[in-house]
Structure 1
């Protein structure tokens, strides 16, 4: 019998930096030009409210908060291998969770897409909030993975890395403000970039329960996108100075512990065995981590 072909990938890697990028190498262009464009079909637009109302009826705990919308990126580098002289500029607009549920997570999500090789054009009618995820390594070399609660909006019961979203409202953003002063615009871009790093640290602290002081500053390792629902997620590598057994004790009192049912501490080999059970964007996060590990072995 012919060998069976491997299952198709559930993700694509939009950007990978195996050596990792620090905060000073990650820039943001925050602009209304990266906001979602309404679809020309009014029935599709109306379906957003209908689907949100239905989901809210099924799960009253859902909350419609502002999110940063992913609008693409530009890489600047003087090194083909994305060395220390590299930096990336991430393009971000504004969207909200309601529109995410009504476009990306809609049963009609493919109808919101445009057939175009340019990712930004292809998904211009989707909310596509930029999620975040952290590959957290404990002091004894284990990788921390959560099993999601069955009450969450996306992939209930699945294995995931800690994460969620950076929050515009954490840095005082409630809407776009037209400002011709480039100094103010540059300052806001810096604040958004900083929130990308602060946001993932906050997610780890809230979901796992460890003190922020036990974590290293995040290193940005890339962006993956789940093929199902075209869901983009930025991934970071973080080390925790605590051993996995100590981390488990903190997890029992985690602020957002209700979002998950269990914390696992996997070896790299164990993680490879469960990665296929993750949502596609987190499978991509694991692939980005593997690229980082491979790069470290070479160095």
Structure 2
């Protein structure tokens, strides 16, 4: 039976990723502050003291003076004078400041959430759905309200004599608070002033202060629902579960002193019970979140300082992948960094081939700039077992703070779709892709071989067209470098693959790209290529809340995470052979297992990366001709095949004004360096 991962860590991961989290807080949060709970086994529980019969607006209107003297003041007097926030309240305030998409809906009227030392940066992220002690409203006109923040200010309602009785007597005083009359509303002069607290015969929408619409909207939109110290016997708990988990399958996290919510039962949603006092369990959650954010910052800022590990690394120079230098005294037990993935090349001008170029107009002139990795000093090519995958949300793209630049993603996609439709081309198809954030050479000990580590998350084709392939790519790079010391942090960086296809005759197979129906480099010579498809593994982007939760669960389970990473690696390797089959027509059973030669980055497109594979085929050049003539699956993307014997590749690259796509040129450079 698979061991379930720590639910506190799962929730911390949600908060780290700025997911929409809705907290519903009950009386258990304030128990450590000395405030009695409403239900439960505690003999001092408020609801055992005839609150359901007296806690109604009808009971108040029957005799307001008696209601205050015999019910309200004896029941809640202590909360005005002695209670103070505990560590649980402080943790919620801090969590709210860390995640602006987190909303706290409290059922408590003690106002302790608003008295924390940690100031709420977003005051609108706290909803007091049952009201607040110290506030009063008119019993006749609910829009009449005196906004007194503390009991001391209740002097405006009841006068100085009563205020002194309560504050002077204290919670332990046996002197009763005696009210001789109930003030009338100062706005309308007719209604009595009653506490702004939801009574048992009132609805959640009976007063605007309760913000019930805002709370229900948060439950409906949340990626996860969190209960803290609640008995699940109040209607708002059922409304929250119905709005989120039951309708959309989002998970529930229950912080309680006992299992208050059962698991299973054929439900669509998962329930995670975090057992213990709220002041302790919420602090542990906060610690986990801060630990995640600290770890994430290491991955965001300079990609962990470009992976330059103290004690000795071999680093790749950012101006030229094929130039290396040592940092420290040794080259062992550490990481080889790829600075070019986080900083633009210093010697390449920013003259991008952008999505603003008209479809169908091939670019002429010299080949475009590219960079390759790794250096020929390492033993290549790599087999599938020589590659490791780090699949983690911290490698995802960051949204640019300027909403206008983010809007360019949709506008670019819409424009390109209209242009293709006008030209009679097939419609653009968006699909999930892998995002490559880093490519590192890793060596763990002298006796173990060097491995290639790919740092991956998810993106999609539309985001790539609106960032890497758009005219704003240089601006996004500059802003990313300035704000995060990472030029690619605002770019899609979708991962592609290129295949160097070699026949039994020693000929390399190229395609000539169509002048219609392909996005870039129309009419150019290119290698067969495309993308590994995360969709083949059941991955999607953007992640829906249920999919995100399932994926995070998988990544937090070592065995399942390892299996997923193996499947991702296999998808990347097999995609190279699949592209050959789709674009050239050579059957998969005629292709040998692909070998990885390295990485090529196209600088015109913000350094968009592609992995180059060597794919040997078990057939003659003439057979490849026949397969292509029969009509491959994606034959519309090319117009003809070209064959260059591998011994003549070096001379081929010297042809003046050769219209060779940059990914293909970079792939041939890797082929020459690592195989010839």
Question: TM-score if structure 2 supplies the norm length?
Answer: 0.40
- The alpha-carbon deviation at position 48 of structure 1 amounts to 1.2
Equivalent runs, 1:53-202 vs 2, <5 Å: 53-60=414-421, 61-77=427-443, 85-114=449-478, 116=481, 121-150=486-515, 151-174=517-540, 175=543, 176=548, 177-179=551-553, 180-202=556-578
Please point out which of 556, 565, 587 is paired with 1:211.
Answer: 587
| Kept after mapping to 2: 8 A contact 1:15/1:224 | no
Is 1:250 paired with 2:634?
no
Q: 2:598 maps to what in 1?
A: 222
Q: Is the 8 A contact 2:499 2:614 kept in 1?
A: yes
Post-superposition shift, 1:272? 2.5
Residue by residue, what CA displacement relative to the aligned partner does 1:98-127 show, whole Å, maximum 9, x if unpaired?
A: 01110011122111113649x981111000
1:272 equivalent in alignment to 2:272: no
Change beyond 3 A, Cα 1:79–1:266:
farther
1:78 shift after superposition: 6.9
Distance in structure 2 (CA, Å) of the matches to 1:56 and 1:116: 31
Cα deviation digits, residues 127-176 of structure 1 (max 9, x gap): 01011001111110100000111210121111111110000011211244
Distance change in 2, residues 1:148/1:120 (3 Å) = farther
Secondary structure, counterpart of 2:653 in structure 1: helix
2:503 touches 2:616 (CA, 8 Å); kept in 1? Answer: yes
- Aligned mates of 2:382, 2:511 — CA distance in 1: 25
Q: Tell me: higher relative CO, structure 1 or 2? Use CA pairs within 8 A at least 6 residues apart.
A: 1
Conserved? CA contact 2:367–2:661, under 8 Å: no
Higher strand share: 1
Q: 2:614 aligns with which of 230, 237, 240?
A: 237
**Distance (whole Å) between structure 2 residues aligned to residue 154 and residue 8 of structure 1:** 13
SS in 2 for 1:63: coil
CA contact (8 A) 2:498 2:530 kept: yes
Question: 1:70–1:130: 8 Å Cα contact kept in structure 2?
Answer: yes
CA contact (8 A) 1:163 1:203 kept: yes
Distance in 1, matches of 2:671 and 2:460, equals 28
Give 1:12's match in structure 2, choosing from 371, 376, 399: 371
Alignment of 1:26-41 (within 5 A): 26-41=387-402
Which residue in 2 is equivalent to 1:259?
Answer: 637
**Shift in Å, 1:209:** 0.3
Flag the 1:259–1:19 CA change in 2: closer, same or farther, 3 A: same
CA apart distance, 1:210 = 0.7
Matching residue of 1:47: 408
Write the deviation string for residues 160-210 of structure 1: whole angstroms up to 9, x where unpaired. 111100000112112442112121111111110010111111111111101
Distance 1:29-1:124 versus aligned 2 partners, 3 A rule: same
What is the SS of the residue equivalent to 2:380? strand
Asked if structure 1 preserves the Cα contact closer than 8 Å seen for 2:367 and 2:660, the reply is no
Alignment-derived partner of residue 3 in structure 1 = none
Quote the offset at 1:74 in angstroms. Answer: 2.2
CA distance in 1, matches of 2:625, 2:412: 37
Q: 1:171 & 1:226 partners in 2: Cα distance?
A: 27
Show the counterpart of 2:315: none
Query: Matches of 2:616 and 2:640 in 1, distance apart?
Result: 20
SS at match of 2:601: strand
Q: Secondary structure at the match of 1:140?
A: coil
Question: In 2, Cα distance between the equivalents of 1:232 and 1:52?
Answer: 21
Shift of 1:276: 4.5
CA contact (8 A) 2:435 2:493 kept: yes
Question: 2: CA distance between counterparts of 1:259 and 1:101?
Answer: 18
SS where residue 128 of structure 1 aligns?
coil
Cα 1:287–1:113 change in 2 (3 A) is same
Aligned residues: 285
Separation in 2 of the partners of 1:239 and 1:78?
A: 31
> Deviation at 1:279?
2.2
- Provide the secondary structure at the position in 1 that maps to 2:381: strand
Is there any run of 5+ residues in structure 1 with no aligned partner, and where?
Answer: 1-6, 295-299
Taking the aligned partners of 1:289 and 1:73, their CA distance within structure 2 comes to 18
Aligned position for 2:385? 24
CA distance in 2, matches of 1:78, 1:20: 19
Whole-angstrom CA distance in 2 between matches of 1:79 and 1:14: 22
Select between 132-141 and 18-27 the one with higher mean Cα deviation. Answer: 18-27
Alignment partner, residue 297 of structure 1: none
